[in-house]
Amino acid sequence: MYKILIAIIAFLFSTFTHAQYVNIEASTGGFSFIPAFTSDAPHFVINAGTNENKAFSFHLLSTVRMSNFTPRGVVIISRYKLIDKKLKATVGIHLPAIQISDDYHVDTFFAQEFMASYPVSKKVAISALYLHGKGKNNDFEANFLSFNTNIVQGDFSFLSQLYGLDLDHTYGVSETITYKVNKNIDFRGFANKTVSDGKFSWTLGARYNL
């Protein structure tokens, strides 16, 4: 297990040296593409990637536990632009996606995604995300679909999300509010209501863009 952790940490550092963007967030919770799966334990959330203006781009997303500085999850994403006009669309693969439990059990996953976005105006954009994930060393398999609206008002942005997951008939709504202090620092608040089971969760975070 410790060899896996060392390999992950080494990969994170090597990714930073080749990335066009890197940001690190200190959050009261974690992060998940599926809002209902967001952790309520404090984490560092790390994003890095290559130039998104090119046809191919590569991205890394990692969550690290604040309690012991061990990774909780690592996702490596490759994306390709299908449409790059006012309407934008990309396809991508998550290979691999790794999740590490509190007792250091490692689960691996393979996922495919499709994303589309369209600017309604200078301040409003709508988008959709479809994600299919399947476990490699486990029996997890699910399809996730979300519809999103992003509104920018001055230094604030409001991302509203309506989503559904064909696992335990999970569906809900979430809201992410971001306040941009300057080009390097922003603060974020996230709230999720899983309507299907009544669960409510929220997180607060501060993000630094390197």
**For residues 145-164, average pLDDT:** 98
- Looking at residue 70, what is its pLDDT? 87
Q: What's the domain range around 141?
A: 2-209
Q: Tens digits of per-residue pLDDT, 18-54?
A: 568 889 999 999 999 999 999 999 999 999 888 888 8
Number of independent structural domains in the chain: 1
**How far apart are alpha carbons 157 and 40 in whole angstroms?**
23
**For residues 69-75, average pLDDT:** 90
Q: What is the CATH number of the domain that holds 197?
A: 2.40.160.40
CB of 145 closer than 8 Å to CB of 129: yes
- Confidence category of residue 103, pLDDT binned at 50, 70, 90: confident
pTM of this prediction?
0.88
